[in-house]
């Protein structure tokens, strides 16, 4: 039975009902078919069903009184009941009834408070107080049940949290509205920090944010769109983030700063005295590095010596990071968590603190440095006669750029021989089935003024071929050495390089390179030494960048243990676990580099006000074409125009219609087939 079923209400009865969460008094005018028309204390005529009645008693007003008099009396009754309700001490009432399990009607509770007989006003006031109460009593089917002491205390804390939340919403919304309107406003610093943290979380993760509901309510109260972009804009206006803030780093919790325990260890290592005992002294060799002009962390270098009789000894010298970075140390744990240095157009996030990666670990010119040297003897046809690996001490004489090597390779015999041997080694791999699909590299740089600059590098220059081939040789020798001695290691395997079976005609080599690369299996980390398809090597690892890649540091440790005839630094099980962690971390790093470079490429297109460009059609269906912009190496989709005659492999002319870098939005219209 419902709470008001069987209720008898006649014209003139005073009753109470909810309107907009407020209890109001009304007087019945007409009753018909279980509903009645009434006038409320707010001077509104209302149609009420019996189910909406909150309280009724014996108080009756004469409907024949004038409307003004009825309103006056209703307001007087309501005010009297409101005042009585505010005077009721529910905590005292609850303390009397707390041990009782049975529920009470409001009339029964009123009898505990007032002397009997209880008046209509007193009974109504008690019911108002009980319905407004959120702490001591809970309501069920018009009866009120006292909560236990434990429940009351828990409820009290909950209400305090709710009140605090409402306060933060109210004050925070006023503050954000002022910020959005660029007006001066202040906010308690603790609340400000909490709101900023919530806005950050929402800007990064949207609906997945644990603060999503709170931030949406906050933005709505401040009359700001409830979107991630709106939260980002607010944070920019607050000066918390920059216009070009890299949210990918925040999303993955990657910082340019290092934990204090790692920095303490790094500072101690800067004064480390390099041990030279037990190492081969190679400081008399003409050792040089080849890197880009912006490089500061040099982890590999080359040398070449002519031994006579057409025999040459090539040295590949790798910074011995394992000597200083102790396994399991704070620096090591941080390096593993980062997995790799991250090179971005506007900043760099190092795997190791720069004071080490650009200092004592870096193969800097004029400084004695510890290295792991691969000394490989060849004849003039690039046949390997002997290869040995040894801990060494080296001193770099020159730090060359790729451009300098290209300019001098014909005039300097050592460079020329290194290149010629590299070309022959490469040809041997090609004859074994290696597949080389070089894509030009677009280097994006953002200067201090925020201007984007692009440099295009050809991967097939003599310097690039020379350095790449010698690093491949060193890595292959390391893999073979570990494999032959059954020392557990991480190998880089590539299972399959499928040939292109669907022949698509195109005069553009870049089109074929992109198509073929999509058919290659992804190289994977594994403890099993399996072939690397595109390199045409029976086993392969990476060890040549130990201050930039954690896999290389890990393999370097295993290699040094093998050279010393010692037990492995890592078991096979430990390496299998590490492979999973590092593969996931490296995928994350690659994603950040790719997406953030694309962001700046889109900014470059805005900066240069690009309107029309050429594009290669990589794929096409009835509705959309997948395009490559060769000048920028950006891929994008575009709708196929009606009556289009172009096909896969064609070059088309496009118009840029919209660019929104922050949203990774690039809207393109295809105009026509580009002239040859």
Please report which confidence band the pLDDT of residue 141 belongs to, taking 50, 70 and 90 as the band edges.
confident
Please report which confidence band the pLDDT of residue 9 belongs to, taking 50, 70 and 90 as the band edges.
confident
d(C-alpha 540, C-alpha 477), whole Å: 8
d(C-alpha 89, C-alpha 130), whole Å: 11
The pLDDT tens digits of the residues spanning 576-592 come to 999 999 999 999 999 99
Please report which confidence band the pLDDT of residue 275 belongs to, taking 50, 70 and 90 as the band edges.
confident
pLDDT surpassing 70 at residue 384: yes
d(C-alpha 200, C-alpha 209), whole Å: 9
Cα Dmax for the chain: 130
pLDDT surpassing 80 at residue 46: yes
Cα–Cα separations (whole angstroms), residue 411 to 292, 439, 517, 547, 569 = 21, 28, 36, 32, 45
Please report which confidence band the pLDDT of residue 34 belongs to, taking 50, 70 and 90 as the band edges.
confident
| 287-291/384-401 β-pairing | parallel
Query: What pLDDT sits at residue 116?
Result: 80
Cα–Cα separations (whole angstroms), residue 197 to 113, 250, 351, 617 = 49, 12, 26, 44
Q: What is the mean pLDDT of residues 72-91?
A: 95
pLDDT surpassing 80 at residue 501: no
Q: What is the CATH number of domain 610-673?
A: 2.40.50.140
Q: Which two tokens stand for residue 509?
A: 């080599």
Q: What is the mean pLDDT of residues 68-90?
A: 95
pLDDT surpassing 60 at residue 1: no
Q: Minimal CA–CA distance to 467: which of 400, 422, 525?
A: 422
Q: What is the mean pLDDT of residues 475-497?
A: 95
d(C-alpha 185, C-alpha 162), whole Å: 24
pLDDT surpassing 50 at residue 2: no
Query: What pLDDT sits at residue 303?
Result: 98
Query: Treating both helix axes as pointing N-terminal to C-terminal, what angle do 90-97 and 106-113 enclose, rounded to 10 degrees?
Result: 100
Structural contact between residues 562 and 485, judged by C-beta atoms closer than 8 angstroms: yes
Omega cis (within 30) before 117: yes
The pLDDT tens digits of the residues spanning 385-399 come to 999 999 999 999 999
pLDDT surpassing 80 at residue 276: no
- Which residues make beta-bridge pairs with 656? 668
In this structure, what is the dihedral angle of CA atoms 351, 353, 359, 365, given to the nearest 10 degrees? Answer: 30
Long-range CB contacts for residues 567-574, cutoff 8 Å, separation at least 24:
568/487, 568/488, 569/327, 570/488, 571/488, 572/488, 572/527
The pLDDT tens digits of the residues spanning 109-132 come to 999 999 889 999 999 999 999 999
The pLDDT tens digits of the residues spanning 333-344 come to 999 999 999 999
Q: What is the CA radius of gyration of the chain?
A: 39
Query: What pLDDT sits at residue 192?
Result: 94
Query: What pLDDT sits at residue 657?
Result: 96
How far is C-alpha 309 from the geometric centre of its chain's CA atoms? 58
Please report which confidence band the pLDDT of residue 402 belongs to, taking 50, 70 and 90 as the band edges.
very high
Q: What is the mean pLDDT of residues 403-412?
A: 95
10 Å CB burial of residue 482 (0-12, 13-18, 19+) is buried
pLDDT surpassing 80 at residue 675: no
Query: What pLDDT sits at residue 52?
Result: 86
Q: Minimal CA–CA distance to 315: which of 394, 405, 426?
A: 394
pLDDT surpassing 90 at residue 629: yes
pLDDT surpassing 60 at residue 234: yes
The pLDDT tens digits of the residues spanning 172-199 come to 999 999 999 999 888 899 999 999 999 9
Which phi and psi (to 5°) does residue 136 adopt? Answer: -95, -30
Q: Minimal CA–CA distance to 290: which of 376, 363, 224, 235?
A: 363
What residue ranges do the domains of the chain occupy?
Answer: 13-150, 156-241, 260-596, 610-673
Per DSSP, the three-state class of 366 is coil
Query: What pLDDT sits at residue 20?
Result: 85
Query: What pLDDT sits at residue 514?
Result: 87
Please report which confidence band the pLDDT of residue 512 belongs to, taking 50, 70 and 90 as the band edges.
confident
Cα–Cα separations (whole angstroms), residue 586 to 426, 597, 669 = 27, 16, 35
Q: What is the mean pLDDT of residues 267-281?
A: 87
349-358 burial, b at 16+ Cβ within 10 Å, e below that, comes to bbbbbbbbbb
pLDDT surpassing 90 at residue 99: no
Selected residue with higher pLDDT from 115 and 544:
544
Cα–Cα separations (whole angstroms), residue 283 to 136, 360, 394, 569 = 84, 16, 5, 29
Please report which confidence band the pLDDT of residue 518 belongs to, taking 50, 70 and 90 as the band edges.
confident
pLDDT surpassing 60 at residue 5: no
Cα–Cα separations (whole angstroms), residue 430 to 435, 463, 466, 537, 645 = 7, 19, 15, 11, 38
- First and final C-alpha spacing in the chain: 86
d(C-alpha 471, C-alpha 318), whole Å: 10
Per DSSP, the three-state class of 315 is strand
| 53-60/143-146 β-pairing | unpaired
Over pLDDT 90: what percentage of the chain? 83
Query: What pLDDT sits at residue 326?
Result: 95
Query: What pLDDT sits at residue 676?
Result: 60
d(C-alpha 148, C-alpha 666), whole Å: 61
Residues in the chain: 676
Q: Minimal CA–CA distance to 558: which of 494, 485, 476, 492?
A: 485
pLDDT surpassing 90 at residue 102: no
Q: What stretches of 486-643 adopt beta strand conformation (E)?
A: 491-493, 524-526, 612-620, 624-629, 634-639
**0.85 surpassed by pTM:** no
Query: What pLDDT sits at residue 641?
Result: 92
> What's the mean per-residue pLDDT of the chain?
93
d(C-alpha 317, C-alpha 374), whole Å: 6
Which phi and psi (to 5°) does residue 79 adopt? Answer: -65, -40
Over pLDDT 70: what percentage of the chain? 98
Structural contact between residues 600 and 446, judged by C-beta atoms closer than 8 angstroms: yes
pLDDT surpassing 80 at residue 222: yes
Query: What pLDDT sits at residue 497?
Result: 78
Sorted by sequence, the CB contacts under 8 Å of residue 260 that are 6+ apart come out as none
pLDDT surpassing 50 at residue 27: yes
Query: What pLDDT sits at residue 355?
Result: 95
Query: What pLDDT sits at residue 57?
Result: 86
Structural contact between residues 549 and 339, judged by C-beta atoms closer than 8 angstroms: yes
Selected residue with higher pLDDT from 480 and 33:
480
Cα–Cα separations (whole angstroms), residue 125 to 12, 40, 42, 82, 401 = 20, 18, 19, 6, 88
Please report which confidence band the pLDDT of residue 32 belongs to, taking 50, 70 and 90 as the band edges.
confident
Q: Which two tokens stand for residue 564?
A: 């010393």
Please report which confidence band the pLDDT of residue 438 belongs to, taking 50, 70 and 90 as the band edges.
confident
């Amino acid at each position: 039975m419902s709470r008001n079923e069987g209720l008898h209400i006649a014209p003139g009865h005073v009753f109470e009902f909810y309107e907009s969460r407020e209890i109001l008094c009304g007087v019945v005018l007409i009753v018909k078919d279980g509903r009645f028309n009434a006038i409320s204390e707010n001077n509104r005529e209302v149609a009420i069903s019996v189910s909406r009645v909150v309280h009724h008693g014996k108080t009756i007003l004469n409907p024949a009184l004038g409307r003004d008099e009825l309103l006056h009396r209703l307001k007087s009754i309501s005010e009297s009941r409101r005042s009585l309700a505010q005077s009721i001490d529910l905590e005292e009432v609850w303390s009397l009834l707390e041990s009782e399990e049975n529920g009470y009607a409001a009339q029964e509770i009123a009898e505990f408070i007032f002397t009997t007989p209880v008046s209509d006003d007193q009974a109504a006031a008690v019911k108002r107080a009980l319905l407004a109460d959120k702490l001591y009593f809970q309501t069920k089917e018009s009866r009120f049940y006292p909560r236990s002491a434990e429940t009351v205390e828990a409820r009290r804390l909950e209400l305090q949290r709710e009140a605090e939340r409402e306060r933060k919403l109210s004050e925070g919304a006023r503050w954000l509205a002022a910020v959005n309107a660029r007006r001066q406003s202040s906010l308690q610093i603790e609340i400000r920090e909490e709101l900023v943290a919530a806005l950050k979380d929402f800007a990064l993760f949207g609906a997945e944010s644990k603060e999503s509901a709170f931030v949406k309510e906050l933005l709505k109260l401040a009359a700001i769109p409830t979107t991630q972009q709106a939260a980002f804009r607010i944070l920019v206006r607050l000066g918390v983030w920059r216009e070009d803030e890299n949210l990918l780093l925040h999303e993955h919790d990657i910082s340019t700063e290092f934990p204090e325990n790692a920095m303490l260890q790094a500072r101690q290592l800067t004064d480390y005295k390099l041990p030279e005992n037990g190492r081969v002294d190679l400081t008399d060799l003409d050792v040089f590095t080849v890197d880009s002009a912006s490089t500061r962390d040099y982890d590999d270098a080359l040398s070449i010596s002519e031994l006579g009789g057409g025999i040459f000894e090539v040295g590949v010298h790798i910074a011995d990071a394992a000597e200083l970075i102790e396994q399991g140390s704070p620096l090591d744990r941080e390096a593993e968590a980062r997995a790799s240095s991250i090179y971005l157009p506007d900043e760099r996030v190092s795997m190791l603190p720069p004071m080490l990666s650009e200092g004592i670990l870096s193969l800097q010119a004029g400084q004695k440095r510890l290295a792991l040297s691969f000394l490989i003897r060849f004849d003039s046809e690039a046949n390997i006669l002997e290869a040995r690996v040894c801990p060494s001490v080296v001193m770099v004489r020159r730090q060359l750029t790729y451009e300098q090597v290209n300019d001098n390779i014909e005039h300097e015999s050592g460079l020329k021989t290194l290149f010629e041997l590299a070309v022959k080694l490469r040809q041997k791999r090609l004859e074994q089935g290696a597949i080389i699909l070089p894509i030009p590299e677009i280097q994006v740089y953002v200067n201090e003024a925020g201007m984007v600059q692009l440099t295009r590098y050809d991967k097939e220059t003599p310097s690039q071929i020379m350095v790449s081939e010698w690093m491949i040789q060193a890595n292959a020798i390391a893999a073979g050495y570990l494999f032959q001695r059954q020392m557990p290691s991480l190998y880089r395997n590539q299972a399959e390089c499928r040939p292109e079976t669907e022949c698509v005609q195109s005069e553009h080599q870049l089109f074929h390179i992109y198509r073929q690369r999509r058919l290659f299996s992804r190289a994977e980390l594994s403890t099993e030494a399996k072939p690397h398809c595109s390199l045409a090597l029976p086993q392969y690892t990476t060890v040549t960048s130990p201050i930039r890649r954690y896999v290389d540091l890990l393999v370097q440790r295993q290699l040094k243990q093998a050279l010393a005839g010692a037990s492995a630094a890592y078991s096979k099980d430990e390496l299998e676990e590490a492979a999973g962690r590092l593969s996931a971390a490296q995928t994350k790093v690659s994603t950040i580099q790719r997406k953030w470079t694309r962001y700046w490429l889109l900014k470059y297109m805005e900066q240069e006000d690009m309107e029309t460009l050429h594009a290669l059609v990589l794929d096409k269906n009835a509705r959309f074409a997948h395009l490559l912009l060769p000048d920028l190496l950006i891929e994008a989709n575009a709708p196929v125009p009606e009556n289009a005659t172009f096909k896969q492999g064609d070059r088309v002319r496009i118009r840029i219609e919209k660019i929104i870098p922050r949203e990774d939005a690039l809207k393109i219209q295809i105009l026509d087939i580009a002239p040859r």
